[in-house]
């Protein structure tokens, strides 16, 4: 996946068919985090507990909406275009930001499922089964995040 | 889609409103360090949520990274809650704390 530049109000990347499949796989795994481990505040009052519950519900609803949005983005005509042997990926800023949040959620979710290892010292050669998938997605999401962040630093 | 992606832009406040806010403020929005979120991602989120430039966002990200947390802003309860919702929506570990 390689950032090509900005075309009017779209960010444009070149990517291979396997990179497209990885992108779809990331979206299909989303959401992996449930948000319930993050209290709104350290306040232990009933009011704070109620606010915290509302936050968890709001985040869950938001994630479901993002999943629908991301599926719509990836299946929209014009998002992927043939470009010789490769594909061209075209995203608006809001679409790129949506995919960035999804990639982060899946990356952190995979890391959690792998037992929260030091990201720099994951023993890839020992991963089998679901852990191999999580290991692959952890890396793929990291690459995708850096591509999106790098591009989003530029104005469309 | 707009609700998930557009940078927050808050309206300019007149002097009276600023004074009211000053009296009413009392909650700190705190972002805590975690071992997995990418530093570039955290910087990007601060820019998106608070509308900060890259340099300010990166300064706060480095404070989170080096000191374990950073106080991002001091607000009324409602606004602090709004910011924490936004930050947690981006999967950052953020909380609001009543100012002592």
Q: Which of B52, B75, B89 has the highest number of chain A CBs within 10 A, making it the mutation to test binding with A?
A: B89
Contact check, Cβ <8 Å, B4/A42: no
Contacts of A144 (CB under 8 A, 6+ apart): A1, A22, A23, A26, A99, A100, A103
pLDDT band at residue A129 under the 50/70/90 scheme: confident
Give the range among A4-8, A24-28, B9-13 with minimum mean pLDDT.
Answer: B9-13
A15, two tokens: 């990517």
Q: What is the pLDDT of residue A151?
A: 96
Q: Three-class SS of residue A7?
A: strand
Q: Where are the domains positioned within chain A?
A: 2-152
pLDDT at B13 over 70: no
Query: What is the H or E stretch that residue B85 is in?
Result: helix B77-89
Q: Please give the average per-residue pLDDT across A23-44, as a whole number.
A: 81
Closest alpha carbon to B30 in B74, B90, B95: B95
From CA B94, how far away is CA B84, in angstroms rounded? 6
pLDDT at B28 over 50: yes
Q: Which residue has the higher pLDDT, A42 or B2?
A: A42
Among B35, B48, B84, the residue with its CB nearest the CB of A40 is B84
pLDDT band at residue B17 under the 50/70/90 scheme: low
Q: Name the fold adopted by B22-98.
A: Ribosomal Protein L30; Chain: A, (3.30.1390)
Among B1, B89, B95, the residue with its CB nearest the CB of A94 is B1
Predicted interface score ipTM higher than 0.90 = no
Contact B89, A101 (CB under 8 A): yes
- Residues B44-83 have pLDDT tens digits of 999 999 999 999 999 999 999 999 999 999 999 899 989 9
Q: What percent of chain A is predicted at pLDDT more than 90? A: 66
pLDDT at A86 over 70: yes
Q: Where are the domains positioned within chain B?
A: 22-98
Contact A151, A3 (CB under 8 A): yes
Question: Rounded to whole angstroms, what are the CA distances from A22 to A15, A36, B9, B42?
Answer: 11, 27, 34, 23
Q: Sheet containing B94-98: which strands, arranged edge to edge? A: B69-75, B27-32, B94-98
């Amino acid at each position: 996946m390689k950032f090509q530049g900005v075309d009017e109000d779209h960010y444009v990347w070149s990517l291979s068919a396997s990179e497209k499949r990885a992108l779809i796989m990331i979206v299909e795994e989303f959401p992996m985090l449930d948000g319930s481990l993050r209290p709104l505040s350290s306040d232990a009052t009933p009011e704070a507990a109620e606010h915290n519950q509302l936050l968890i519900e709001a985040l869950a609803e938001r994630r479901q909406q993002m999943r629908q949005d991301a599926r719509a983005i990836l299946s929209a005509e014009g998002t992927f275009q043939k470009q010789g042997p490769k594909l061209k990926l075209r995203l608006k800023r809001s679409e790129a930001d949506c995919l960035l949040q999804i990639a982060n959620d899946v990356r952190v979710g995979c890391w959690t499922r792998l037992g929260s290892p030091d990201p720099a010292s994951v023993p890839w050669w020992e991963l089998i089964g679901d852990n191999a998938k999580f290991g692959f997605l952890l890396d793929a999401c990291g690459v995708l995040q850096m591509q999106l962040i790098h591009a989003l630093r530029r104005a469309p | 889609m707009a609700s998930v992606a557009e940078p927050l832009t808050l309206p300019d406040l007149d002097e009276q409103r600023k004074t009211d806010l000053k009296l009413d403020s009392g909650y700190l929005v705190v972002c805590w360090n975690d071992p997995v979120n990418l530093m570039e991602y955290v910087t990007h989120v601060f820019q998106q949520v608070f509308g900060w430039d890259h340099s300010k966002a990166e300064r706060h990200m480095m404070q989170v990274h080096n000191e374990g947390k950073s106080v991002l802003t001091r607000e009324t309860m409602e606004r602090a809650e709004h910011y924490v919702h936004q930050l947690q929506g981006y999967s950052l570990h953020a909380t609001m704390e009543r100012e002592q």
